[in-house]
Amino acid sequence: MNAQHLAKTAAMAALLCLAGMIMRWASPALVPFSVLPIFVFLTGLILGPKYGSLAVIVYVFLGLLGLPVFASAPFGGIGYVLKPSFGYLLGDIAAAYVVGKLYNRQSLLSALLAVLGGIIVLYLIGLTYFYLVMHFVLQQSTTMALVISMGFLPFIAGDLIKGGIAAWVGNQLIKRQRSSGL
């Protein structure tokens, strides 16, 4: 890890922290909208699989240490792992890795497909964790149909749109970075 990679990873981790917190100050009418997925996908696109997932790990770790960087109460702390939605944070780590691994840094189509792969992984991990916590930790009668209706259907359209935005922005940034020789 060189200084440039370390600096980019730290900067993206800081942006993820801001993205996680920003909706607390926005209108309640926008909840459960979050800009975090845009930054997770951008992290994978810009930093690649290794450093992209590392930036998301740093973000999650800071939140688990107690820094108030998560979007919903209690906003941080180890107890967050007992929330059904914590699986989406674990899915964010894998999504950043998959996006970085699939993106060939050449085309918008590659970026779109990479982000789609990241969304699939994000939801596979997030929904599985959601089900496991609801069923085994909270001991609520839960079916996969209920989990899908609560943790997938309300969010997928927005995440696809956010993924498209991230793919376009990330691809533009990579093209400009390549043309400037950075």
Indicate the domain borders of the chain.
3-180
Within the chain, residue ranges assigned H as helices are 3-22, 36-65, 86-102, 108-132, 144-151, 156-180
What's the CATH fold of domain 3-180?
A: Arp2/3 complex 21 kDa subunit ARPC3 (1.10.1760)
Instruction: Give pLDDT, residue 166.
Output: 98
Each of the 182 residues of the chain gets a pLDDT tens digit; together they read: 799 999 999 999 999 999 988 877 765 554 457 899 999 999 999 999 999 999 999 999 999 999 999 988 888 999 999 999 999 999 999 999 999 999 999 999 999 999 999 999 999 999 999 999 999 999 998 999 999 999 999 999 999 999 999 999 999 999 998 888 76
Q: Return the closest-CA partner of residue 59 out of 103, 130, 10.
A: 10
Q: Return the closest-CA partner of residue 19 out of 58, 69, 84.
A: 69
Instruction: Give pLDDT, residue 34.
Output: 84
Q: Return the closest-CA partner of residue 170 out of 59, 43, 53, 52.
A: 43
**pTM reported for the whole predicted model:** 0.94
Residues 6+ apart with CB under 8 A from 66: 76, 77, 78
